Chains A and B, each alone.
Chain A
Amino acid sequence: MLPMLQREVVDKHGWVTQEDVLDCYAIGQCTPGVIAVNTATFVGYRQKGALGGLVATLGVITPSVIIITLIALLLRGFASNPFVVHAFAGIRIAVAVLSLMAVIKLYKSGVKGAAGNALMALSFLLRVFFSVSPVLLVLAAVILGIILEWVKGRRKAA
């Protein structure tokens, strides 16, 4: 998604600079939601304010909404077809491979040090064995981050 965005908004239209896109992308990663959508919202906002942000956001989700709606309706019509049932049983195995690899990639880039591993293990165990809500775990992580930084700041001050 990022290379395409660069081609369109930097090279073709010159709406923002290359650094702007990278900045937007970095900020898109640290605000909640879908990164590609966040990046589009930023670019739109920079160009034309809130309305620009709204239009860019709607623009980036429209193709997905149309394509996926068609596929979902189509699949529903064929859901009981035995070929489709068997095909999807095989497809789910391909998805298992893809998601396993995606998690390994995420692990390599996002989990560092003993503390990182411990946090990851804790959220994994709480989710799998105690069905703790993901919302609670995300909130706990944010609060923990704020508290740790606050304590650090106070120590420095003292």
Chain B
Amino acid sequence: MTGSISLVKQAAPWLALAVLLVLLERQALAGPLRGGLEWQLFKVQQATGQIGGNLLKPLINWQNFGRMSGRLADLEQRTKQLAVDYSRLAAVEAENERLKALLVQPGGNPSQVMVAAGLLSGSRGTMVDKGRREGVVEGAVVVDAQGVLVGRVRLVRERVSLLERPFEPASRMAVKLAGLNTTGVLTGKGETVVLEGVLQAELLRDGDVVVTSGADTLYPPEIVVGVVSQVLGEAADLTKGAAVELTAAGEAVRILIESQ
């Protein structure tokens, strides 16, 4: 009994410290400490993730050897890339027109600035190493180095931000097919995304590029999201859908922030 009391006594100061931390958090007084630690941990995780990835690479290559045709995969990738490039070109042209229009307005400023950031994905979510300090706000859109959609900011901390990715179950996004009038809703299913609510009469084929439509006011229009990989549904149904393969890649991203 004495031993047990002694153990509880030893735990008491640490429990009190943890409770103090909870209280400081509730009063938003732990911001500076949190900001510094979060940012440092982000960098350490990024570094260890790269080391881990490099260590595992030979194993992954060995596993892949003989299981699939590398050439076929490469060709498929190129086809998808071409489709994405075509759509991106159209988006760049539209953006070009918008910038030209701004240039002729005296004192006109681009409405968005881009902040380069590092991306970190784990089993508990996705983070970027930029936060309130850099002007990131909730709802800001994040794209990869090629301008393909990565997600949007769900929660902003002092020096990091948490993202909502298109594949997360809570994610809903108004989309359309590039170059077509086909519209639908892209819904997250945990690890995959599905295009839903496309009317039977609308065109929908494997390989079509999915871009944001802007109709939901959450995402600006014409940002590439992914490529249709398989059309789903029966011909007798009112609507059809499709499995969509997301095309964002890499750990270097850009956050689009509305300028003041």
Q: Do A and B truly interact?
A: no
Residues in A lying within 8 Å of B, measured CB to CB: none
Chain B residues within CB distance 8 Å of chain A: none
